[in-house]
Amino acid sequence: MLGRSLGTVLQDGDIICLSGTLGAGKTSLMRGIAAGWNANERPTSPTFTLVNEYHRQADAQRLFHIDAYRLNSPEDVCSTGLDDILAAYGVVVIEWPERIREVLPVDVLWADIQITGDSDRAFTFSARGPRSQQILSDLKNRYTG
C-alpha cells in the first residue's frame, strides 16, 4: 500500500532512493511504486541488467529502476550511461543508492528500509530538496487525509 501511494504522486524528474540490507524489501516497494504509477509491466530486479525501464500507456512516461549494487565508483555511473538516465525525463527509482551517492542530484527522496520482524519493515523517509519535500508531503496527506 505504501509503494502504491508513493507511485501515485510521482512525476517526471523525481528520484527515489531505496536503501536497506539484502532482503529488506526494496524491490517489493518498487513493485508497489510501479503499480501506483500505472506501469504496463511488473518490475523485476535489475541486479544483473543494472536498469529496467517501464512505461505507462496513458502518457508514454518512463519509470527507470536502477540497481546500483554492482557499481563501485562514480566513474561506473558514467561508463554505464546512468548519468544520462539521471538527467533524462522520467521517474527514477534507485536501489543501493549509497553506492552512487556522489553523483546523485541534491533533490531526492530517500527511503531507508529496516527489517523489524519476519514480515515487518520500518520505513524512514528523508526529503533532500523542494520537490522531494512535496512528494513526502503528498504521501503523508494520503495517509492522514
* Every domain of the chain and the residues it spans: 2-144
pTM above 0.85, yes or no: yes
pLDDT of 74 over the 80 cut: no
- Return the pLDDT at 145: 62
**What's the Rg (C-alpha) of the chain?**
14
Q: Which residue has the cell 520482524?
A: 117
Pair 91, 61: CB distance under 8 Å = yes
Pair 69, 51: CB distance under 8 Å = no
The three-point CA angle 18-55-51 to 5° equals 45
- 51 φ, ψ to 5°? -140, 135
pLDDT of 15 over the 90 cut: yes
CA 16 to chain centre: 4
- Return the pLDDT at 122: 93
- Return the pLDDT at 79: 78
3-state secondary structure 26-89: HHHHHHHHHHHHCCCCCCCCCCCCCEEEEECCCCCCEEEEEECCCCCCHHHHHHHCHHHHHHCC
Fold of 2-144: Rossmann fold (3.40.50)
